[in-house]
Homo-oligomer: A and B are copies of this chain.
């Protein structure tokens, strides 16, 4: 527990300049905080789970009311961010050849595979079948910060993926 809270404490206090897309105003917001670290919360009998407070305050700072959630392209995880996330994807569609089947597939994933969700008054979200089926989540959720968004993982799947990523980096070379 001590370790978990210590991790969370880091999140709110982060500051510093880093590059991100968007206008100056948007960047000013993002500079102040980002989604960092991870925490595991339980799902209650009604299928709800509390979003970590640190993540909620990041959302509040960014004036994010509705959460755009989609099934991640590479990991068995649900990625969660503001509507700007969806707009970035749509911009990406518009950027590449809009005639390509690629764009059509992209739309199938980000529109057909994406949901807008809202938190309740206590900062909890419903863990729907949409989330459970794709992630394998049953009774616990691991929230993982990814700077401009965060992810929902099945706890064991997360530690496994993290361990594998760590191993691959070790094999890849001695770069930091």
A residues near B (Cβ < 8 Å) are 3, 6-7, 10-11, 14-15, 18-19, 31, 34-38, 71, 73-74, 83, 87-90, 92-94, 98-99, 101-109, 111-116, 130, 144-147, 151, 158, 161-162, 165-166, 168-170, 172, 174-176
| A contact patch SS | helix
Given contacts A109-B162, A112-B144, A112-B146, 6 further A-B contacts (CB under 8 A): A10-B99, A10-B104, A36-B116, A89-B176, A111-B144, A111-B146
Nearest-neighbour CB distance to chain B for A57, whole angstroms, equals 12
Nearest-neighbour CB distance to chain B for A89, whole angstroms, equals 7
Known A73-B175, A101-B6, A101-B74: A94·B166 in contact at CB below 8 Å: no
Residues of B within 8 A of A11 (CB): 98-99
Residues of B within 8 A of A34 (CB): 111
Q: Is the CB of B35 within 8 A of A106?
A: no
Residues of B within 8 A of A112 (CB): 37-38, 144-146, 151, 158, 162
Q: Report which of B10, B71, B94 forms a contact with A19, defined as CB distance below 8 A.
A: B94
Q: Is the CB of B37 within 8 A of A107?
A: no
In the bound complex, CA of A172 to CA of B108 (Å): 16
Closest to A9 in B: B104
